Amino acid sequence: MSTEQTPVIEKPPAPAAASTAGREPRFWSPRRAPATLVALLVLVTSGAFLYDIAAVRAHHPAMHWRRELARQLATQPLDGTWVLVGAGIATALGLWLLALAVTPGLRRLLPMRRTHPDVRAGLRRDAAALLLRDRAMEISGVRRVRVRLHRSRAHVLAVSHFRELDEVRGDLEAALTDAIRAMGLARPLGLTLHVIRPGRKG
């Protein structure tokens, strides 16, 4: 199987059309599931301790689980296997929660240029990839297109079964550049374009 391939074209992101372009921050995820789990865990744990402490203050014996926990903490060595395992799990959970707190999330949502100070808009990454694929398929000679979108660059692989590859590449470059500009993204995507011939058996 042989393939003919044109040189890879890599274009930097288009210059910002508006003064606010490129300055829009990413959308922050609400993190509802982790926040709910942490809140429930804190509520259950604190509620159990408060209930047991109130019972002891009312001259009732402490609950069995707290007496057992106190005994284990008093007798368990700090370098024990289960102590180290528990510390590792707690550390991993803490780092995970810190990462969720300081990172925006919503990587699949691309911020768009703000045309009104009180309105923010975003474009889903899969929708942007579909748009670029549809624009590429409109070019004469293009048989198949694969688009992969990263945070700042679109990687496009096109298969052309007729016409000169340089002509197809030029048409694709112009069409995709216009499509990226029309998206109105705050940080316009760079473009990496490959144009190849379909493989031949034999």
For every residue of the chain, which 3-state class applies, written as one string? CECCECCCEEECCCCCCCCCCCCCCCCCCCCHHHHHHHHHHHHHHHHHHHHHHHHHHCCCCCCHHHHHHHHHHHHCCCCCHHHHHHHHHHHHHHHHHHHHHHCCCCCCEEEECCCECCECCEEEHHHHHHHHHHHHHCCCCEEEEEEEECCCEEEEEEEECCCCHHHHHHHHHHHHHHHHHHHCECCCCEEEEEEECCCECC
pLDDT for residue 19: 40
pLDDT for residue 4: 54
pLDDT for residue 6: 53
Look up the pTM and report it. Answer: 0.61
Q: How many CB atoms lie within 10 A of CB 89?
A: 10
pLDDT for residue 122: 87
List the chain residues with pLDDT less than 70.
Answer: 1-24, 200-202
pLDDT for residue 37: 84
pLDDT for residue 8: 56
pLDDT for residue 21: 43
In sequence order, the 6+-apart residues with CB closer than 8 A to the CB of 173 are: 9, 11, 191, 193
Pairing mode, strands 9-11 and 153-160: unpaired
